[in-house]
Structure 1
Amino acid sequence: MTAVPAVEALLFDVFGTVVDWRGSIARLGAAFAEGRDLPPVDWAAFADAWRARYQPAMAEVREGRRPFVRLDVLHRENLDAILADFGLESLSAAERDELNLFWHRLDPWPDSVAGMTRLKRRLILAAQSNGNIGLIVDMAKYGGLPWDVVLGAEVVGAYKPRPEAYLGACERLGRAPGRCLMVAAHNDDLAAAADCGLRTAFVRRPEEKAPGETYDLVPTGDWDLVVDSLDELADRLGC
Structure 2
Amino acid sequence: MRPQAFIFDVFGTVVDWRSGVARDVSRALPQVEPFAFAAAWRARYQPAMERVRAGGRPYVALDELHAEMLDETLAAFGARMTPPARAALATAWERLPAWPDAPDGLARLRTMAMIAPCSNGSIALMTRLARYAGLPWDCVLGADVARAYKPQPEVYLAAAAALRLAPGAVMMVAAHNDDLRAARAAGLMAGFIPRPQEHGPGQTADLSPDGPWDLVADDIADLAARVSLGVGR
- Matched residues in 2 for 1:60 and 1:87: separation? 25
In structure 2, the partner of 1:6 is 2
Partner of 1:137: 127
Cα distance in structure 2, aligned partners of 1:230 and 1:152: 19
Task: Verify: 1:30 aligned to 2:26, yes or no.
Answer: yes
In structure 2, the partner of 1:50 is 41
Give yes or no for contact 2:62–2:122 (8 Å, CA) kept in 1. Answer: yes
Q: Which moved more, 1:205-214 or 1:133-142?
A: 205-214
Asked whether the 8 Å contact 1:158–1:164 carries over to 2, the reply is yes
Higher relative contact order (CA 8 A, sep 6+): 1
- 1:218: how far off? 1.2
* Aligned equivalents of 1:138, 1:73: Cα separation in 2: 15
Which runs of structure 2 are paired with 1:65-84 in the superposition (5 Å)?
A: 65-84=56-75
User: CA RMSD, aligned part only?
Assistant: 1.1
Flag structure 2 segments of 5+ consecutive residues without an equivalent: none
Displacement after TM superposition at 1:213 (Å): 3.0
Q: Is the CA contact (8 Å cut-off) linking 2:8 and 2:117 kept in structure 1?
A: yes
* Residues 89-132 of structure 1 deviation map (CA, whole Å, 9 limit, x = unaligned): x2122111111110001100000001000001121011100000
SS in 1 for 2:203: coil
- Give TM-score scaled by structure 1 length: 0.93
Q: Percent identity?
A: 52
How many residues get paired? 229
Whole-angstrom CA distance in 2 between matches of 1:212 and 1:107:
21
Give the superposition deviation at 1:27. Answer: 1.4
Amino acid at match of 2:215: L
Displaced runs of 4+ in structure 1, greater than 2 A? Answer: 84-87, 210-213
Aligned-partner Cα distance in 1 for 2:161–2:107: 24
Scaled by the length of structure 2, the TM-score of the pair is 0.95
Question: Is the 1:48–1:210 Cα contact (8 Å) retained in structure 2?
Answer: no
Give 1:101's aligned residue. 91
Distance 1:225 1:61 in 2: 31
Paired residues for 1:133-172 under 5 Å: 133-172=123-162
